[in-house]
Structure formats: structure tokens, C-alpha cells
Chain A
């Protein structure tokens, strides 16, 4: 058990190292020269050279990488080329809306998807099952921003139930906060919900054919308990796994949804940075999001190794 945990945790190191190298190379090998950008159009060659030395851009690539990596590991993500503020501060300032949106989305998606997927799996072929499968194809095909505009049109413009755009901080009260986060979370959550529901359906359906289900029924367990206690519990591993893998979907979605709903979060930060080519900010956000993704999946792997006695490596 300990060997498995150690092995799983160590496996994160090469993955993150590759991520770091890719992110570093990506932006360092770009054709634009950051020193020229900072210096502006009217700067002379000497001023550009000064900035280049100050940023360490005159060093060999490998040296630059080690300096950069050391800074990253000590929590220094560098400073924005334009606002001169540290990237960590910029991210922290924008963390609340993004974190709220992501959490609200996960709560919504998981709490709807698991019951829905379980019922569909236990009653495979029923109208509920068929409509879930139909909705899921549509859910995968509808781009998040298109769904976002449909939501705004129906719930904000026509019915007036929700604000059109913007974000209200939780410090201004829980209800106004929930009110502002509801539409974006529903929008972002649909694809994630559909993904989890599909996997839940498939793994519950697979469990329903197992011998222990027949045994449970034979000894007179109520059908509802057969499904929840016997089928769903044993189907937990693929469901947890897809919840972890689906986080990638959430991260990509956040970037687009924050633009649609005009939410000042980390997604908006990175889009603005990309439009202005503010490389340190882009690097910082990609590293952060990748690390979050890798760590969530590590936590899930470790979690079910601890909880499920069948997982032994």
C-alpha cells in the first residue's frame, strides 16, 4: 500500500517537469521579443539591451530555464510585463470568482449527475435513460459560450431571473453571490454533468449484471438499496476517475465562461494576458491550472486506494 502511494506520488514529478519545460519553451521560443515589447516603439537599442539584461534574456536558454524553475518552485511566478505586479498577486486577486464558479459548478454537476446516471443505468432502455443519452450528445456538441448566450437570453433577458453579467462577491451576502454565480455555473456544468452521468450510467449498468446483484435480490434486498448500496458503491471508481479527468473540461470552460458572463476571474486574466502577450502571466496561469489538474487526479487516485480494499498494486 505504502509502496503504491509513494509510486503514485513520485509519478507526478516527471509529469510536472514536462509541463514546466513545455510552458517555458512555449513562451521563450516565441518570435516576439519581450524586451522590445516592454521598451515600446520609441526606445533605442541601448534601452532594449538594458531591459534584456535585467530580465536575464541575454543568458543561454538552459541557464534561463534553471533560474526560472528555481523562482517557480519558491513561489515566485515573476511579474506582469504591463502592470509590473507580481503574477502571484494578480492570480490571488482574481481567485475568488474562479474558485466560486468552479466549486458551484462541481456541486451542481455531481449532485445532479450521479442520481440521474444511477437511475438511468438501473433502468437501462427506459424513457429516462434514452432521454439522458440524447441530452448527453447535445450537451457534448453545444459550445459553452453558445449555451451561455442561450441562458442569458432566456433567464436574464426574457425572464429576468438572473443578472445578465458580472460577479457579486460573497462578502456582499450569500444570496446575491449565489444569484450572480447560478447561470455561469449551470452553463459550465452542463457538459461536466453529462460526462459524469454517462460514466455513472455505464458503470452502474455494468454492475447490474454482476452475480452479487442477483444474490442481493435473492436475499430480498429492496431494489432501491440494491441499486444504491450494491451497484453504485461498486461502480465508484470509474465515476471518481471521470470527476477528476473532467476537471480539465472545467478549466477550459472557465476561460470562456468568464468572458461570456464578464466575471473578473483567472480565466479573464489569462485571456487579457494572451491578447496583450503578457508572457509571465500566461505561464503562471497555465502552470497553476496544470498543477491543480494533476494534484486533483493524484488526490482521487490516492483516495480510492485508501477507501477501496480491492485496489492493491
Chain B
């Protein structure tokens, strides 16, 4: 029930959540995207049982080997098994993507709810958000990462900060519409405390659009993490991530394009899957969402 805005909840007599889920699953984008995402998630979760070896074990005797029986995708310039590194790389990408989406939504919702509801704060906070959005996302992220030593934590923080203004704007636009609805006015008139109004009457309307925006933020974060690692300013080199693999492989690109193309293929497929899922959810959950993004 929590998934629905009150307006939608009034429409169907049957359980509307089930109806909506069934409708979403009939959408080809949701089906294809969901299938790709599910496959990548299972691959990441089951990495140790998928015929992998230790993805960071260095074996100088087996450098740059072509694909063969023990090394399905061949080995890299340190003799590490590329197949294992690609499979474990899914863990890094998904972890970064999901953490960034979750953090950006938590902070964005908190700021957006409060600023949308209190007009005085609105002007100041939105100017700060405009300023943050004027700095190209990618530059802000690399500048933030360069401040400290590379670690998963700093990368997540650096990718989250540029995404927060987008969430704030979306939440604020929902709050501005919903606060004029009669059920919110009714709640105010019977003396409901403001925090309760925000959480119980306004927050539910933001869930559907946030679900869609969350998929886009997740996809964007995976792309930016890979680009940062590619430039050498992302995740520490000892972590198996697709961006790190492409970065290390690029010196040997002309002789062994495989070193770049294999991790690239999985990276592009993952992002494609998440984007398809997001497009499909946007179309089925609420057609009005598109106008707000």
C-alpha cells in the first residue's frame, strides 16, 4: 500500500499494488531490464560458486594468456584470472550504485520534504542546490575524490553529493503539489503535527517517482565510478572493479582489446538493464512522473 499515492489508492477496489505489479511485469522494458539486473545480481551474490578463483591472486608465470581451459577469459598483465575479476567486479559496481542511490535518496528526501514545506527555507536551499547543479557532476565528483585517499567510502560520498540536488528538486516539486491537496489541508485543520503530516501524508506520494529516479541515480553512479576508476582516481587499484580493469587494460588495448572489452561489456549491460528497468517503471507506475524529471 505504501507504494501508492492516495489518489491512486482510491481507484481500484482490488489490491492495487498487485494490479500495478502485474501491469509493470507486462511492460517489455521492465521484463528485459529486470532479467538483466537479476542475472547480474545473482552473479555478484554467487561469485565464489561460479567457478571463480581468487580475483586478486597474482601469477607472474601466467601473464596475458589467451582464453583457455582454466582461464575462460584469459589472464591480465599480472596473471590474474579475467573471468573471476569480471564476476567479482559486479559486486563493486552494484555496491557503489546501490549505496549512492540509497544515500542520495535519504538526504535528498530529508532536505526536499522540509524545504518544500517551509517556504522561508525554500529560497535559500534551492539557490544552494542550483549552485551545486551548475558544477558539472563529473568534475565535482573527481574533485571530491581527489581530496582524500581512494576508498569505497570516499567514492560513495563523492558520487552522492552531486546527485542530492536532483532528488531534492524532485521531492520538492511533489511536496509543492501535494501540500495543496484537500487531504493535507484537512490534516492541518484537525491539528496534526507537522512532522506527521510530512511523513504520513506527503512522503507516500514521493515513493513512486523516487523509485524511478533511484534507478537512474544507481545507473549514473555505476557509470561515474567506472569513469573515475578509469582515470585512476576511483576505487583503490586492489579492488576488482570493471573501471579498474579497463584502466589497467588500456595500455595493452592495441595488442589485447579483450582486456578492455570484457569488463566494458558487463559494465554496459548492467547500466542498460538498470536504465530499461527505470524507463519501464516510469511508464507503468505513473505517467506524470516523466514531467518532473
Q: Which A residues have a C-beta under 8 Å from some C-beta of B? A: 14-19, 21-23, 26-27, 29-32, 137-138, 140-146, 149-150, 152-153, 157, 164, 248, 251-252, 255-256, 259-260, 270-271, 274-275, 277, 282, 285-286, 289-290, 293-294
Q: How far is the CA of A164 from the CA of B145 in the complex (A)?
A: 30
B139 near A286: Cβ-Cβ < 8 Å: yes
Q: Which residues B247-277 have CB closer than 8 A to chain A?
A: 250, 253-254, 257, 260-261, 264, 267-268, 271-272, 275-276
Residue B292 is within 8 A (CB to CB) of chain A in the complex: no
A252 near B134: Cβ-Cβ < 8 Å: no
| Chain B nearest Cβ from A31, distance in angstroms | 6
Q: Which B residues have a C-beta under 8 Å from some C-beta of A? A: 127-128, 130-132, 134-140, 142-148, 219, 223, 226-227, 230-233, 246, 250, 253-254, 257, 260-261, 264, 267-268, 271-272, 275-276, 279
B134 near A294: Cβ-Cβ < 8 Å: yes
A290 near B223: Cβ-Cβ < 8 Å: no
A143 near B223: Cβ-Cβ < 8 Å: yes
B246 near A146: Cβ-Cβ < 8 Å: yes
Residues of A within 8 A of B233 (CB): 271, 274-275
Residues of B within 8 A of A138 (CB): 272
A143 near B271: Cβ-Cβ < 8 Å: yes
A251 near B139: Cβ-Cβ < 8 Å: yes
B253 near A149: Cβ-Cβ < 8 Å: yes
Residues of A within 8 A of B140 (CB): 22, 286
Taking a contact as CB atoms closer than 8 A, the residue among A18, A32, A142 that contacts B131 in the complex is A18
Taking a contact as CB atoms closer than 8 A, the residue among A16, A29, A270, A271 that contacts B134 in the complex is A16
| Chain B nearest Cβ from A6, distance in angstroms | 18
Residues of A within 8 A of B127 (CB): 14-15, 18
A149 near B264: Cβ-Cβ < 8 Å: yes
Main secondary structure of the interface of B (DSSP, over half): helix
Contact status of A255 and B134, CB under 8 A, knowing A137-B272, A149-B257: no
A248 near B137: Cβ-Cβ < 8 Å: yes
* A256 nearest CB neighbor, chain B only: B227
| Chain B nearest Cβ from A245, distance in angstroms | 10
A19 near B230: Cβ-Cβ < 8 Å: no
Contact status of A274 and B131, CB under 8 A, knowing A27-B147, A248-B137, A290-B136: no
| Chain B nearest Cβ from A301, distance in angstroms | 13
12 of the cross-chain contacts (CB-CB < 8 Å) are A15-B130, A17-B131, A22-B132, A142-B268, A145-B227, A146-B267, A149-B264, A251-B138, A256-B231, A259-B231, A275-B232, A285-B139
* B249 nearest CB neighbor, chain A only: A149
Residues of B within 8 A of A29 (CB): 147
A30 near B257: Cβ-Cβ < 8 Å: no
Residues of A within 8 A of B257 (CB): 149, 153, 157
A15 near B131: Cβ-Cβ < 8 Å: yes
Q: How far is the CA of A32 from the CA of B147 in the complex (A)?
A: 8
Residues of A within 8 A of B130 (CB): 14-15, 18
Q: How far is the CA of A251 from the CA of B148 in the complex (A)?
A: 23
B135 near A290: Cβ-Cβ < 8 Å: yes
| Chain B nearest Cβ from A160, distance in angstroms | 13
Contact status of A19 and B147, CB under 8 A, knowing A143-B227, A145-B246, A153-B257: no
Q: How far is the CA of A143 from the CA of B226 in the complex (A)?
A: 8
Q: How far is the CA of A20 from the CA of B189 in the complex (A)?
A: 44
* A274 nearest CB neighbor, chain B only: B146
Residues of B within 8 A of A271 (CB): 142, 231, 233
For the complex with contacts A21-B131, A248-B137, 18 further pairs of A-B residues with Cβ separation under 8 Å are A14-B127, A16-B134, A18-B132, A19-B131, A23-B143, A26-B147, A29-B147, A137-B272, A141-B271, A141-B272, A143-B268, A145-B226, A145-B230, A149-B250, A150-B264, A255-B142, A274-B145, A282-B146
Q: How far is the CA of A252 from the CA of B279 in the complex (A)?
A: 23
Residues of A within 8 A of B267 (CB): 143, 146
A15 near B275: Cβ-Cβ < 8 Å: no
Taking a contact as CB atoms closer than 8 A, the residue among B131, B136, B143, B227 that contacts A251 in the complex is B136
Q: How far is the CA of A252 from the CA of B139 in the complex (A)?
A: 7
A286 near B272: Cβ-Cβ < 8 Å: no
Residues of A within 8 A of B268 (CB): 141-143, 146
Contact status of A137 and B279, CB under 8 A, knowing A149-B260, A149-B261: yes
* A291 nearest CB neighbor, chain B only: B134
B232 near A290: Cβ-Cβ < 8 Å: no
Taking a contact as CB atoms closer than 8 A, the residue among B145, B147, B253, B279 that contacts A152 in the complex is B253
* B272 nearest CB neighbor, chain A only: A141
Residues of B within 8 A of A144 (CB): 227
Taking a contact as CB atoms closer than 8 A, the residue among B135, B142, B226, B254 that contacts A22 in the complex is B135
| Chain A nearest Cβ from B102, distance in angstroms | 21
* A138 nearest CB neighbor, chain B only: B272
| Chain B nearest Cβ from A206, distance in angstroms | 11
B143 near A255: Cβ-Cβ < 8 Å: no
Taking a contact as CB atoms closer than 8 A, the residue among B134, B254, B260, B276 that contacts A164 in the complex is B254
| Chain A nearest Cβ from B170, distance in angstroms | 16
B143 near A26: Cβ-Cβ < 8 Å: yes
Q: How far is the CA of A153 from the CA of B258 in the complex (A)?
A: 11
Q: How far is the CA of A244 from the CA of B20 in the complex (A)?
A: 36
Residues of A within 8 A of B135 (CB): 19, 22-23, 286, 289-290
* A297 nearest CB neighbor, chain B only: B134
Contact status of A270 and B227, CB under 8 A, knowing A142-B268, A282-B146: no
Q: How far is the CA of A15 from the CA of B165 in the complex (A)?
A: 13
Q: Which of B127, B128, B139, B264 has the most C-beta atoms of chain A within 10 angstroms of its own C-beta?
A: B139
Pairs of residues from A and B, 9 with the lowest C-beta to C-beta distance, nearest first: A18-B131, A252-B138, A141-B272, A146-B264, A30-B147, A141-B271, A274-B146, A251-B136, A248-B136
